[in-house]
Amino acid sequence: MADTEEPKKHLEPMEVEDRKAAIVGDTAFHIQQVTKYTSNDDEALKAFAKLGGGEPIDVTQELDAATNTRLLRTIDRHLMPILCLVFGLNYLDKTSLSYASIMGLKVDLHLSGSEYNWLGSIFYLGFLVWEYPTNRLMQMLPLARYSAICVTLWGTVLCLLAVVKSWSAAMAIRFFMGLLEAASMPGFALISSQWYTHHEHNTRTGIYISSNGGGQIIGGLVAYGIALHVPDDDAAPLAPWKILFIATGGFTVIVGLAFFYVIPDSQLNCRWLSKRDRLLAIMRVRENEQGIGNAHFKRYQLVEALFDPLTWALFLYGLLSDIPNGGITNYFSQLIVNFGYTSRQSLLYGIPGGGVVIVSCLANGFLGDYFQQRTLVACVSMLVAVLGMVLIIVLPISNNVGRLVGYYMTQTLPSVGATVLSLISSNIAGYTKKTTVAAIYMVGYAAGNIIGPQTFRAQDAPRYVSAEITILVCFALCIVDLLFINWWCRRENRRKAAIRAQAGFVPVENHTWRDLTDRENVDFIYCI
């Protein structure tokens, strides 16, 4: 489809009577008259029809600052604590394997180096297998309820790791954990695009991904407390690593139940907003040009996603950044031990890395939105990670403090991932296309995390030179990829501006609520 073509087969026209009912005087959207909407249209039209209560709403009006602030605070107060908890537990549940590896897991299960590597990789194989199906389910089923069920089940499965007695059983558990956690990041991207304007995406994504650092801090303290107070011998009623899995898994189940109760599927069934505020909450995200959701699968949007260069730039970032992430996440405790510290010290010395994650995510999110230069700010964070990896590689093995500082510097990596996830929220429109791009990005994420642990070969200990060089090269290529995304989005914005400036240009009627893709909607502007 040419860039300037009018949508054809994929956009079924609204019925004549529906158009007359929906649009009056080109601006006034008369709620009491809207009784029908087609499967091509956004769920917002359903909200206007069901929640309007007979009162006409002008969908072109701008919310006053006081109303917008009030709504934003209410939304933040209900969404952000749960999203932060879930994302922190998502990270903690994955990295609990790293803590357990130095708390007796490897000895009790008689794991070789390659078997432990595969425990790290198999999680992401489950992720990879289920990523596209889970994104389709998030489009077809109530988004928040489906996500809450996944959170609750993954906590339950994590608890089951405490009863495994063999490598094969642990592999099965880790596979199903990855399968269930596949919904988390793409689900959060969809929730962000539903509730926040594109100018708020980077900051909010930075906030909930900063909870990775909170998970690292809490995980280190919990693991250290267990290691300190539970005897590491046969006299203990439960091995320390088993207690760790039960504690983190049990808390995840509780948070999953809270998620089910607090997070709505959309503004349509939000119990903590009045009917009027539900409509206003939809109207405040009108500027995103994305609507709030559409359960109807649109094949043309799938095809567009597959042929969009931005899709593959996002996929490439997911792959390149998560090769390092997969290695560091599963090996950071052992890396710190190899820097010259004891196993118990490594549990504590990993904690400052969590502080770096929190600070870098918050700073990256705020500065990216403030300067409206997300990708360039993210490049700075990635440069810090590059310098940290250089320190680990070039400093002598005896310089344990310098190499530990280098490890801390690599912990700016999650802040860049937050930016890329926010770009999926902000820059991909059309609900089928958005779920497809999110799935493709997460396939790259999963593949990178599968490869990452395999770069840490047992025979390379304690330096792991090949893994460290691989990580450095991936970091550098991530910067190139981010610069391409910046260039491509600028190019597309210029192309669309030229079309809008043409004499006789007429925008698609009611384009905000038509579930158009970012490419076909000429009024859609990409964030950079």
CATH superfamily, with its number, for domain 65-499: MFS general substrate transporter like domains (1.20.1250.20)
- Spans of all domains in the chain: 65-499
**What pLDDT score was predicted for residue 465?**
82
Nearest alpha carbon to residue 411 among 397, 394, 391, 396: 391
Work out the number of other CB atoms within 10 angstroms of the CB of residue 500.
11
Q: For residue 238, what pLDDT band results from cuts at 50, 70 and 90?
A: confident
* pLDDT tens for each residue of 72-124: 999 999 999 999 999 888 888 777 887 787 778 888 888 876 888 788 788 88
Mean per-residue pLDDT of the chain: 83
**What pLDDT score was predicted for residue 51?**
56
* pLDDT tens for each residue of 2-17: 444 444 333 333 333 3
Sort 399 into a burial class: Cβ within 10 Å, 0-12 / 13-18 / 19+: middle
**What pLDDT score was predicted for residue 231?**
59
DSSP assignment, residue 237? Answer: S
Answer with the residue of higher pLDDT: 340 or 448: 448
Answer with the residue of higher pLDDT: 289 or 401: 401
- How confident is the model over 265-277, as a mean pLDDT? 89
**What pLDDT score was predicted for residue 13?**
35
* pLDDT tens for each residue of 172-182: 999 999 999 89
Q: For residue 332, what pLDDT band results from cuts at 50, 70 and 90?
A: low
Q: For residue 422, what pLDDT band results from cuts at 50, 70 and 90?
A: very high
In this model, does residue 224 exceed pLDDT 90?
no
The H or E element spanning position 424 is: helix 413-427
Is-contact 320 478, C-beta < 8 A?
Answer: yes
**What pLDDT score was predicted for residue 367?**
95
**What pLDDT score was predicted for residue 43?**
66
- How confident is the model over 180-208, as a mean pLDDT? 91
* pLDDT tens for each residue of 29-86: 333 333 344 556 566 666 665 655 545 455 556 778 899 999 999 999 999 999 999 9
Residue at 332: amino acid letter: F
DSSP class per residue in 107-157: HHTT--HHHHHHHHHHHHHHHHHHHHHHHHHHHHS-HHHHHHHHHHHHHHH
Q: In the numeric block, which tokens belong to residue 228?
A: 């300190």
402 contact partners, CB below 8 Å, separation of at least 6: 391, 395
In this model, does residue 318 exceed pLDDT 80?
yes
Is-contact 42 280, C-beta < 8 A?
Answer: no
> How far apart are the C-alpha atoms of 198 and 290, rounded to whole Å?
10
In this model, does residue 157 exceed pLDDT 50?
yes
- How confident is the model over 279-284, as a mean pLDDT? 87
Q: List % helix, strand, coil for the chain (3-state, nearest 5).
A: 75, 0, 25
Q: For residue 325, what pLDDT band results from cuts at 50, 70 and 90?
A: confident
Task: Quote the pTM value.
Answer: 0.82
